[in-house]
Amino acid sequence: MTTVQKQEQMYEGKAKKVFRTDDPNIYWIQYKDSATAFNGEKKAEIDNKGILNNRISALFFQYLEKQGVPTHFVELLNDREMLVKSLEIIPVEVVARNIVAGSLSKRIGQPEGTLLAKPVLEFYYKDDALGDPMINEYHIAALEWATPEQMDAIKAIALKVNEILKEFMDSLNIDLVDFKLEFGLHNGTVLLGDEISPDTCRFWDKDTKEKLDKDRFRRDLGGLEEAYREILRRLEGKLQD
Amino acid sequence: MTTVQKQEQMYEGKAKKVFRTDDPNIYWIQYKDSATAFNGEKKAEIDNKGILNNRISALFFQYLEKQGVPTHFVELLNDREMLVKSLEIIPVEVVARNIVAGSLSKRIGQPEGTLLAKPVLEFYYKDDALGDPMINEYHIAALEWATPEQMDAIKAIALKVNEILKEFMDSLNIDLVDFKLEFGLHNGTVLLGDEISPDTCRFWDKDTKEKLDKDRFRRDLGGLEEAYREILRRLEGKLQD
Ligand SMILES: Nc1ncnc2c1ncn2[C@@H]1O[C@H](COP(=O)(O)OP(=O)(O)O)[C@@H](O)[C@H]1O
Ligand SMILES: Nc1ncnc2c1ncn2[C@@H]1O[C@H](COP(=O)(O)OP(=O)(O)O)[C@@H](O)[C@H]1O
Ligand SMILES: [Mg+2]
Ligand SMILES: [Mg+2]
């Protein structure tokens, strides 16, 4: 039941535009069809990607809220748009990993697909000009990107999201390999923000090992729209039980 | 009072050789004159470097032991050699930083010399083939490079060493910018191992800001032997009070 009015655009990122509304507590997010990788070096427009990610993110956020995770999600508006709580984004991207893939495979010299004995969290300084460098909690504390108390909340939420989504995706016959989260402050409280979509997660079909995520774009595998559509199909199938 | 006998070489690293002795609890370390940088890509022989680092390391270890830091140091034997407790080296290099320099300056886009509001610890996986990649405590736990309990001991020792040496170097009119430590297990106990020398620390003269460390070699500034000799001179001046 939208009663807020869309106002001027605040910023445009690589995948979304963020608008103010007449309520300072609420922002209006519009998902774009742009796909980017390697810090924006590789770019394309993918038909319907914005629509699919908007719907997929909404389903994930709703599911997480039901399990007690504090997210910015307020309401799905239409195909490409959702309302969210206004956040002051913390400039730390949090990656959670269950299976070795991508940069971690290169970093530690272990093949993609290696199971991790415990979930791994990684922290990256959200700064496109620096290429989102990996950092740790000491950097975050010393440079005051987040307080230790905020980091405790962030780590707890990230690990909880991982437990919930790992089990949920498992029930869709999908391995949750890894994913990236962003957090922000809303009236001083840490909330999970941004998006949860095949752009920000690695999803592998458990039987075929087929990649159902942005690696299809990064690695020129084709079939990106179909893969994202398959994720949405499985999510809707389960959540409309 | 050496009573142990030097036996076969166990391994030769970039800066030191490690020999067994007839006592399984004791290894015999010989410091070489080789200087390397950038993961071994840049190499040279520097007259007397091994002698200077052996003496400097011995002084630092003795000073730290007196303040209650558990180190591998046993005894200075001669110009180039010391006895140490035998360690099973933990494959995690620990860097402690007080002032931004080197790789951290590039990583976070802040100029060398920026004071950090709190000490920063960083962890690197000790693996020359992978180029000693930066990792964090989640990687260390998941890949079982050290237990969380061992990491707690390692972090506590690293921060204590930093406090002690920062204050001590300050009294020699030197800024302790950053340094790298290695740890190992001796009969199950975590001990500080390896070396503490101008090869593994950044030392800046507080007045002239002159670099008195391996950056003179990395950056082709010349005067490496003289810089290391100056560090030894100031250490001996203070410790022979
Ligand atoms: N609830 C929110 N409030 C304010 N900003 C948000 C919120 N959720 C996400 N953002 C920010 O919106 C911006 C646009 O998203 P995106 O296009 O994915 O950007 P990027 O190019 O940084 O990946 C990002 O900076 C993201 O952190
Ligand atoms: N007390 C010890 N017991 C066993 N090994 C040690 C001890 N102290 C240091 N070492 C190891 O000795 C090796 C040789 O040192 P160095 O020449 O500095 O090697 P590197 O080429 O790895 O820098 C290193 O692998 C180091 O970890
Ligand atoms: Mg984004
Ligand atoms: Mg060494």
Edge-to-edge order in the sheet of strand A88-89: A88-89, A183-186, A189-192
Low-confidence ranges of chain B (pLDDT < 50): none
In a shared domain, residues B148 and B112? yes
Candidates B119, B122, B129; nearest CB to A136: B122
Asked whether residue A102 falls in the same domain as residue A175, the answer is yes
**Pairs of residues, one from chain A and one from chain B, whose beta carbons lie less than 8 Å apart:** 72
- Does position A241 have pLDDT exceeding 70, yes or no? no
- Pocket residues: Cβ below 6 A from ligand 1: A 11, 13-16, 18, 27, 72, 84-87, 89, 182, 184, 193-194
Q: Do B79 and B92 belong to one domain?
A: no
Whether residues A103 and A140 fall in one domain? yes
Closest CA to A54 of A25, A70, A75: A75
Nearest to B119 by CA among A133, A137, A152, A125: A137
At A149, is the pLDDT very low, low, confident or very high (cuts 50, 70, 90)?
very high
User: What would the pLDDT profile of A170-223 be if each residue is shown by its tens digit?
Assistant: 999 999 999 999 999 999 999 999 999 999 999 999 999 999 999 999 999 999
CA torsion, ordered A148, A150, A151, A154, to nearest 10 deg: 170
Ligand 4 centroid to residue B13 C-alpha, Å: 7
The CATH number for B47's domain is 3.30.200.20
Test B121 with A143 for CB contact under 8 angstroms: no
The whole-number pLDDT of residue A240 equals: 81
Closest residue of chain A to B109, computed from CA coordinates: A130
Domain range for residue B64?
A: 6-85
Indicate the SS3 state at residue B142.
helix
Any residues with CB less than 8 A from the CB of A123 and at least 6 apart, and which? A92, A93, A94, A95, A134, A135, A136, A137, A139, A140, B136
The percentage of residues in chain B with a pLDDT greater than 90, rounded to a whole number, is: 97
Instruction: Look at residue A46 in the predicted model and tell me its pLDDT.
Output: 96
Tell me if A232 is assigned to some domain. Answer: no
CB contact under 8 A, B120 and A142: yes
The pLDDT, as a whole number, for residue B240 is 81
Residue type, B128: D
Closest to B122 in 3D by CA, of A161, A141, A108: A141
Whether A4 and A24 have beta carbons less than 8 Å apart is answered as no
DSSP 8-class letter at A217: H
Q: Which two tokens stand for residue B194?
A: 């390896």
Cβ of A108 within 8 Å of Cβ of B139? The answer is yes
- With tokens 């002084």, the residue in question is B59
Please give the Cα distance from B96 to B200 (Å, whole number).
Answer: 11
Does residue A74 sit in the same domain as residue A179?
Answer: no
Tokens of residue B57, six digits: 């390391």
